[in-house]
Structure 1
Amino acid sequence: MTRVLVPVRYPLSNHSRRTLSEAIDVAKTRDADLTVLHVNLYHRGNDATRTELKRTVESAFGRITNARYVVRDGFLIEETILEEIAATRADVVVIGRKQMGRWRRAIRRLVDDPDIENFLREKVDCELITVG
């Protein structure tokens, strides 16, 4: 079965809602499992729980079949998302354009070529969908 991963902010921003809506559509169209991911940053506090994330998403979109909700702790959002992509063996990652910009900045610090799509494909062999 296909696996779709969507990282979101908590509480859900308008941008996260658009990204999540696209991920839900992709998962339905491909009859895929959907993983909704939020990363609690160690240095920010305001830790969300899996239960809070699930309630908020279901309140906004209704019950989503084949969905699982994951909250991970991390120092860097990008690194934690990459770890989750690998752990879930995601086939598709749906991210917002703002997240793409953040990834580009992080990767620019690591490598000369800030081409995030190629970087992700080299690291995790998955399809990347960017939502504007």
Structure 2
Amino acid sequence: MAKITNTHSKTPIGLPDGSVVPPGGTIDVPQWVDYSNRQNLAFYVETGVLVVEGGGAVELSKEELFAKLKALGIEAGKNSSVKTLQERLAEAEEKAKADIIAKLTEKGVVVGEDVTLEELQAELAKHQ
């Protein structure tokens, strides 16, 4: 389930399930994940008109995505869509994880498959 907030002061926003998010209001939307990728809703989320809390994967703001990419040494165009930024971040994080796992393996350190990038970075720092 996701909590959806409409930040607009005048316009209600209808959702595909028939529910309506009133201006300045928040509603629970159990099936958000089923239609969150629709173009109009993705646009509202990207522009900040709709704010999503919960509902599966953690949604990062455009600014947070830029910051994470920059921390991994990747510059992205300011006009990039959230979806493009998310895809680039996922690719960059997988590459960074593979690189760190290779470095740890060279040092004789075995790591599991389900570790996060942050955990790998911390483990590598311990062995530097």
TM over 0.5, yes or no?
Answer: no
What TM-score, normalized by structure 1, do the two folds share?
0.26
What TM-score, normalized by structure 2, do the two folds share?
0.26
Structure with the higher strand share, 1 or 2 = 1
Give 1 or 2 for the bigger CA radius of gyration: 2
Q: Greater relative contact order (Cα 8 A, min sep 6): structure 1 or 2? A: 1
